[in-house]
């Protein structure tokens, strides 16, 4: 169990560090002791002996279990929100007679800027979701507890209907690392070029399409632009899905009409069902209690988080070593950093998001933390991230009970790395499948 480095330790650390000009520094751990070794022309030892840390080990184990479930679980990539054609069918649902559905649509329409009207196809879609995807809505609502407040803050800033938060449910199932088959990425599924237009940087280190805050800001700007073109939110939704070009072609084919329901037959198949799926999602979230849908409980939705702009490069591992924050928490809160490194690049302001208490510790000891990182860096040639040589790769044969998170943890690598090395688009595994892995030193 890694030590949780407390503010108390860091304050002691400051005293010891400030007394000596440092050429290199390292922290050695023993059972009950941390020894700070500071070395220059002569070797000096500053010891901090017998400091015992309150780790609440049992609780930490429980935290790790639910975080692994949330972040590394194979369900994360395999969960499918959209319905297949053969899953949409006419069905009766005792809990939702047609008359009641019409009544609820009228309630939604009265408080919404959208044109929410009953039609048989929409009824069929809602009932198909309730029959085939009810359990998935519990997961979506769990994730929504964390993301929706952020979405609503940005939507309100741009004077956009708050209901558009449901758009991210359709686009990504509220998974910030979601990647579509055509290359769209993130909560709001930006294509590379569209993301660039709206200020989302993509590099070897960072994909800001997966940054929840920056991608939400970009989505608000894009939606505002689309609404400015069509002056209608249904049309803006259609354009968000398939692009203004396809919507404009459909308008021409519909004789110049700018009513979504009239141009719908001329839209690409996926876009034709996009707005109805949006309304179905809005309905199910609004009336979840009436359909006995309850959000799954887990602690991530209760996190109070904060951010800090960093002044130098730092890795997730270093954050874990210094602050004791579970690495899966760091990964979950900072999904935009592809190599688990937050880089320092000229004219770029990259942020670190952590639970508020850990940001407080970081801010209170920021200069000391950077000094420690500088001293670490001085000991080695730049080698982040460091992997063994190609001829030291291994081939792993998948066994029953394996999943990518388990294999990644065993070899101290990330799930995304294994997927990249093996050209995988999801975390699905087959027994007997062979995986190429480069274990991390």
- Domains contained in the chain, number: 3
Is the per-residue pLDDT at 31 higher than 50?
A: no
Query: What span, in angstroms and rounded, lies between the C-alpha atoms of 145 and 165?
Result: 12
DSSP 190: B
- Indicate the burial class of 234 (C-beta count within 10 angstroms; 0-12, 13-18, 19 or more): buried
- Pair (256, 316) in one structural domain: no
The number of residues making up the chain comes to 441
Domain-located, residue 65: no
pLDDT tens string 83-126: 665 565 566 667 889 999 999 999 999 988 888 888 888 899 99
Cα–Cα dist 264/256, whole Å:
13
Do residues 221 and 211 touch, judged by C-beta distance below 8 A?
no
Domain shared by 111 and 186, yes or no: yes
Burial 359-384 (b: 16+ CB within 10 A, else e): bebbeebeebbebbbebeeeeeeeee
Cα 84 to Cα 87, 273, 336: the distances in Å are 5, 12, 30
Name the band, by pLDDT with cuts 50, 70 and 90, for residue 426: confident
Residue-range definition of the domain harbouring residue 32: 7-55+303-378
Same domain, 142 and 279: yes
What single-letter DSSP state applies at residue 353?
Answer: E
> pTM of whole model > 0.85?
no
Residue reference for tokens 């991230």: 385
- Residue 291 CB burial class (10 angstroms; 0-12, 13-18, ≥19): middle
The per-residue pLDDT for 82 is 66
Decide if 164 is inside a domain: yes
Cβ pair 222, 215 in contact under 8 A: no
DSSP per-residue letters across 74-140: THHHH---SPPGGG------TT--HHHHHHHHHHHHHH-SS-----HHHHHHHHHHHHHSHHHHHHH
The answer as to whether 275 is a domain residue is: yes
Q: Please answer whether residues 300 and 332 qualify as being in contact, where contact means their C-beta atoms are separated by less than 8 angstroms.
A: yes
Tokens 């769990």 found at:
142
Same domain, 143 and 269: yes
**Whether residue 394 is found in the same domain as residue 354:** no
In a domain, 216, yes or no: yes
- The CATH number given to whatever domain includes residue 92 is 1.10.530.10
In whole angstroms, what is the distance from residue 39 CA to residue 308 CA? 31
- Residue 439's CB: how many other CB atoms inside 10 A? 14
Q: Are residues 403 and 312 in the same domain?
A: no
pLDDT of the residue at 296: 74
In a domain, 70, yes or no: no
pLDDT recorded at residue 3:
37
Which is more confident, 391 or 377?
377
> What does the pLDDT look like over 78-91, one tens digit per residue?
456 666 655 655 66
Nearest to 316 by CA among 366, 406, 384, 376: 384
Phi, psi of 15 (to 5 degrees): -60, -50
My answer on whether 314 and 420 are in the same domain is: no
Given 291, 318, 346, the domain boundary residue is 291
Helices then strands, each counted (H, E), the chain: 20, 9
Q: Tell me what pLDDT residue 226 has.
A: 94
Report the alpha-carbon distance of residue 393 to residue 150 in Å, rounded. Answer: 42
pLDDT, tens digit, 9 for 90 and up, residues 228-256: 999 999 999 999 998 899 999 999 999 99
Burial per residue of 409-433, b for 16 or more beta-carbon CB atoms within 10 angstroms, e otherwise: eeeebbbbbbbeeeebeebebeeee
- Same structural domain for residues 286 and 322? no
Contact criterion met (CB below 8 Å) for 185 and 207: yes
Place of tokens 């929100």: 81
Do 168 and 285 sit in the same domain of this protein?
Answer: yes
Q: Where residue 427 sits, what CATH number does that domain have? A: 3.10.350.10
> 188 and 93, same structural domain?
yes
Same domain, 109 and 180: yes
Retrieve residue 64's tokens.
């790790």
225 and 264 co-located in one domain:
yes
């Amino acid at each position: 169990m890694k030590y949780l480095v407390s503010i108390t330790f860091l304050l002691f650390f400051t005293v010891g560090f400030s007394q000596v000009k440092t050429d290199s520094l390292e922290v050695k751990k023993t059972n009950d002791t941390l020894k700070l070794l500071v070395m220059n022309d002569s070797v000096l030892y500053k010891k901090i002996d017998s400091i015992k840390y309150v780790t609440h080990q049992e609780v930490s184990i429980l935290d790790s279990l639910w975080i692994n479930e949330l972040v590394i679980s194979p369900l994360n990539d395999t969960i499918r929100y959209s319905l297949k054609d053969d899953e949409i069918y006419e069905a009766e649902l005792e809990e939702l007679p047609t008359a009641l559905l019409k009544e609820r649509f009228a309630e939604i329409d009265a408080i919404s800027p959208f044109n929410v009207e009953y039609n048989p196809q929409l009824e069929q879609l809602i009932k198909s979701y309730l029959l085939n995807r009810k359990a998935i809505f519990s997961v979506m609502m769990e994730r929504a507890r964390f993301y929706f407040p952020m979405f609503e803050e940005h939507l309100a800033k741009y004077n956009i209907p708050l209901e558009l938060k449901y758009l991210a449910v359709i686009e990504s199932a509220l998974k910030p690392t979601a990647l579509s088959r055509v290359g769209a990425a993130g909560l709001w599924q930006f294509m590379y070029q569209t993301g660039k237009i709206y200020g989302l940087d993509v590099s070897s280190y960072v994909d800001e399409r997966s940054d929840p805050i920056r991608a939400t800001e970009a989505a608000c700007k894009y939606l505002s632009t689309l609404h400015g073109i069509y002056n209608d939110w249904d049309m803006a939704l259609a354009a968000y899905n398939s692009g203004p070009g396809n919507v404009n072609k459909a308008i021409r084919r519909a004789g110049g009409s700018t009513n979504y329901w009239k141009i719908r037959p001329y839209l690409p198949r996926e876009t034709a069902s996009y707005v109805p799926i949006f309304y179905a999602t809005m309905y199910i979230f609004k009336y979840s209690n009436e359909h006995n849908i309850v959000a799954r409980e887990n602690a991530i939705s209760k996190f109070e988080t904060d951010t800090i702009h960093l002044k130098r490069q730092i890795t997730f591992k270093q954050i874990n070593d210094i602050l004791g924050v579970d690495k899966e928490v760091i990964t979950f809160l900072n999904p935009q950093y592809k190599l688990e490194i937050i880089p320092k690049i000229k004219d770029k302001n990259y942020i670190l998001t952590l639970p508020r208490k850990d940001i407080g510790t970081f801010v209170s000891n920021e200069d000391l933390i950077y000094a420690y990182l500088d001293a670490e860096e001085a000991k080695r040639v730049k080698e982040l991230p460091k992997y063994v040589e190609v001829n030291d790769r291994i081939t792993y044969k998948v066994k029953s009970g394996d999943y990518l998170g388990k294999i990644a943890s065993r070899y101290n690598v990330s799930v995304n790395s294994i997927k990249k090395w093996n050209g995988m688009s999801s975390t699905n595994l087959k027994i007997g499948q062979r995986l190429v892995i480069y274990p991390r030193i």
